[in-house]
Structure 1
């Protein structure tokens, strides 16, 4: 989109600020189920599965894989989204829906809800 900046203001609704996962039957205004999990494709997986657990404590987001592995990200206060934490492989973000982003780091991919703001320059 020429002349437009897409700003990402992360609204991680998968886990509250207190680190507790919400009830499994709750639904957010994104229309996505807010059950403390994220769709992910980790390692050599060939299909998306909703089996990664999401924890948020302050500006740190940890996504735990079903095999025991995990990735840790930092939620950026400037609205750009996420960055890899702990010296991990860099994260790349792409908008995949009206209120959803894909986050890729190494061989792992995650679909997360996000508040996406359009701003005209």
Structure 2
């Protein structure tokens, strides 16, 4: 009896290979998004890669994001509630935020760039 459900799944996947491939790709993207990695172009890199990690910590000032580079460097950003998105949590360099899509922003900070998930209000402009 254990073979029948597995066989049905195999047949279902074979009946529409494109659909099965699309589902597998979507599952892989979901897993990548859940592993804490974000797209970044750190330390002057030209192209974005999903190699930086992001940690969220709630504190008295709000939520702080710590973004770590593969080299060991990091940036700290403070999530704002006034519509700016994020600001630099420390340091003299300001964070420049731009909307990439309705659910993503790009943050540039002293030669580093990050693409972060975000809820963009009025994203349908």
Same fold (TM over 0.5): yes
Written as runs of structure 1 = structure 2, the 5 A alignment for 1:39-118 is 39-58=39-58, 59-118=63-122
State the shift of 1:85 in Å. Answer: 1.1
Distance in 2, Cα, partners of 1:96 & 1:89 = 21
**Does the 8 Å contact 1:25/1:35 carry over to 2?**
no
Distance in 2, Cα, partners of 1:87 & 1:44 = 18
Tell me the alpha carbon deviations over residues 62-110 of structure 1, each in whole angstroms, 9 at most, x when there is no partner: 0000000000011112232100012241001001112111000010000
The count of corresponding residues between Structure 1 and Structure 2 is: 93
Q: Does the C-alpha gap of structure 1 residues 50 and 26 become closer, same or farther in structure 2, counting only changes over 3 Å? A: closer
State the shift of 1:117 in Å. Answer: 1.0
Q: Does the C-alpha gap of structure 1 residues 70 and 118 become closer, same or farther in structure 2, counting only changes over 3 Å? A: same
Find the residue that maps to 1:27 and give its secondary structure.
helix
Q: Which has the higher helix share?
A: 2
State the shift of 1:112 in Å. Answer: 0.7
Distance in 2, Cα, partners of 1:79 & 1:92 = 13
Residue segments in structure 1 that go unaligned for 5+ positions in a row: 1-23
Q: Which has the higher strand share?
A: 1
**Does the 8 Å contact 2:56/2:64 carry over to 1?**
yes
Larger CA Rg, structure 1 vs 2:
2
